[in-house]
Amino acid sequence: MRLLLLALLLTLPAHAAETPAEHTAATYASQEMAAAPLHGNLPDYTLPPDTLAKAQHLSTLRVGIHFTAEAWSILTLLLMLSLGIVARMRDLTLRTTGNRWLQAYLFLALFLAARVLLMLPLNLYGHHLGLKYALSIQRWPSWFADLAKGLALEWLVGGALLLLLFAIIRLAPRRWWLVFWAAIVPITLAGVCLSPIVVDPLFDHFEPLALHHPALVAQLEHMGVPASRQFLMKASAKVTTPNAYITGLGPSKRIVVWDTSLNPNEPTPTPEVLWMVGHESGHYALNHVLYGTLATLASLLPLLYLGYLFVNATLRHFGPRWRIPSQSDWGTLAILLLAFSLISALTEPISNTVSRHIEHAADIYGQEAIHGLVPDPQLAVQQANDTDGARILDDPNPSPLEEFWLYNHPATGRRAAFGKAYNPWQPGMEPKYFKK
């Protein structure tokens, strides 16, 4: 399923053939990482001893939490089904009301509440680590408020989607996967478009970037991003780490810069900040959100078909034991989520490989975009990754398997080394996106 997504994305302009300058820099970065000790410092990304120890320990914890959460999520679905918890939720729902709208929202409320409670210990520990390592400053009441808002949003939107799904299952029991996919395409596109306007402000505060950093706005306009599409997020209310991202489609398409990435006392953006926003301008110019959304929708079709096959095979073997008689039963939701969780776990390295290709393309675009705006683009990229990596306590040199399986960006050490070596302006070379 994710192979379809990979094939689609690799046909995009963002994934044009590797240039000689890109190949040279990628080889340099790979050789630097191979020559350094695992989880140790690199020549181009070096942490002080105490910071390195924290980064190494936190990396181990992050990997452990990730796989524990993934396995626990699958196991809890199996337990809820095999112990009859899902069936009892369904029974309670049917006894309470005969209205299918109310049934959908009641069953989903019970199901989501159980899932949140079962996953809560791991989520609590994750936020505890963020506070312990000073990556987060969000107080627990605010954290719980965000959790509640996210749960409420998932319930409101999920209830409507659940109603739609089961209405289609009843009308087209053998083709529901295809009909639901056709219905979900416009819903997804609308959701991606509306999310920056409707959803994101529920969790964070946003303002036009021009109100705070007009010099940076001018530079981003030079890179092709209109001032009206540039926003500042007050991330400092919750975290200490730097970041920027692109979001939205059509009229809501925008670049968002976290205020933790900027120094309010410096009116002129540093070369490191210019590369960071140059990277996001790459996502913006290369239409990564649009292409990524379309690719995700393309991959959703085979995913739903596999879910359909899994549900019917599971019901034949375990339906009587789990007291879920047919695919039109509300309890089928748990079986479908189990299918999606298993497929997602198995295809995780493929989807992360796709993501790393996208981020690598944006890295190259950003470095070429700041050429002529900063004295030394290579040094700016290397120092940006070195500084930001220290702030987020990123492992300098993860194992190749760990990077392949878990990283949706190239490892920070790889990005720093690549940026230092990438010089398409030297004789015999040519930039990838900004031709001479």
Q: What pLDDT digit, counting tens, does each position of 12-42 carry?
A: 444 568 999 999 999 999 999 999 999 999 9
Distance between CA atoms of residues 237 and 205, nearest Å: 9
pLDDT in tens, 144-182: 999 999 999 999 999 999 999 999 999 999 999 999 999
Give me the pLDDT at residue 16, please: 64
Mean pLDDT of the chain: 94
160 lies in a domain? yes
DSSP one-letter code for 43: T
Answer yes or no: is 22 within a domain: yes
Contact (CB, 8 A) for 223 and 281: yes
Taking the CB of residue 49, how many other CB atoms lie within 10 A of it? 8
In a domain, 292, yes or no: yes
* Whether the Cβ atoms of residue 84 and residue 318 lie closer than 8 Å to each other: no
Q: How many domains does the chain have?
A: 1
What are 332's two structure tokens?
């089928």
Closest by alpha carbon to 233, among 211, 260, 214, 251? 260
pLDDT band at residue 6 using 50, 70 and 90 as cut-offs: very low
Position 2, amino acid: R
- Residue found by looking up tokens 């302006």 in the block: 425
Contact at 8 Å (CB) between 178 and 301?
yes
Give the number of other CB atoms < 10 A from CB of residue 263. Answer: 12
For the segment 385-414, the average pLDDT, to the nearest whole number, is: 96
Q: How far is the C-alpha of 312 from the C-alpha of 305, rounded, in Å?
A: 11
Given a cut of 60, is residue 436 above it in pLDDT?
yes
Sort residue 250 into left (φ over 0), alpha (ψ -120 to 50) or beta: left
Half-sphere exposure at residue 136, Cβ-oriented, CA atoms within 13 angstroms: 14
Residue 266 confidence (pLDDT) = 82
d(CA 311, CA 422) in angstroms, rounded, equals 49
pLDDT of residue 7: 42
Q: Return the structure tokens found at 256.
A: 């968002």
Q: Say if residues 44 and 417 touch (Cβ distance below 8 Å).
A: yes
pLDDT at position 4: 42
If pLDDT is split at 50, 70 and 90, which confidence band does 10 have? very low
Query: Considering the domain boundaries, does residue 196 fall inside one?
Result: yes
- Name the helix (H) or strand (E) containing 288: helix 288-322
Q: Is 226 contained in some domain?
A: no
Per-residue model confidence as pLDDT tens digits over 248-273:
999 999 999 999 999 888 889 999 99
> Reduced to 3 states, what is the DSSP secondary structure of residue 51?
helix
In the chain, pLDDT over 70 holds for what percent of residues? 96
Q: What is the pLDDT of residue 274?
A: 96
- Residue 254 φ then ψ, to 5°: -160, 160
Contact 353, 404 (CB under 8 A): yes
Instruction: Please check whether residue 219 lies inside any domain of the structure.
Output: no
Q: What is the pTM of this model?
A: 0.92
CA angle centred on 417, ends 414 and 419, rounded to 5°? 105
Mean pLDDT throughout 48-76? 97
185: Cβ contacts below 8 Å, ≥ 6 apart: 297
The reply to whether 232 falls in a domain is no
pLDDT of 1 > 50? The answer is: no
How many other CB atoms are found less than 10 A from the CB of residue 428? Answer: 7
Closest Cα partner for 217 from 259, 269, 253? 269
pLDDT of residue 400: 96
Give the range of the structural domain holding residue 10, as residue numbers without chain letter.
2-203+287-421
pLDDT of residue 8: 47
Provide the 10 A C-beta neighbour count for residue 83: 11
Give the DSSP H or E segment for 219: helix 214-222
pLDDT tens by residue, 316-350: 999 999 999 999 999 999 999 999 999 999 999 99
Residue at 235 is within a domain: no
| Helical pair 140-171 and 332-369, crossing angle rounded to 10 deg | 120
DSSP, residue by residue, 372-415:
TTBS-HHHHHHHHHHHHHHHHT--SS--HHHHHHH-SS--HHHH
The confidence score (pLDDT) of residue 264 equals 82
**Distance of CA 323 to CAs 154, 245, 330, 356, Å?**
26, 45, 11, 43
Which pLDDT score, from 0 to 100, does residue 435 have? 81
Asked if residue 284 has pLDDT above 50, the reply is: yes
For the segment 228-253, the average pLDDT, to the nearest whole number, is: 97
pLDDT value at residue 426: 93
Question: Model confidence over 172-214: pLDDT tens digits?
Answer: 999 999 999 999 999 999 999 999 999 999 999 999 999 999 9
As given in the structure block, the two tokens for residue 245 are: 């991202």
The whole-angstrom separation of Cα 164 and Cα 229 is: 34
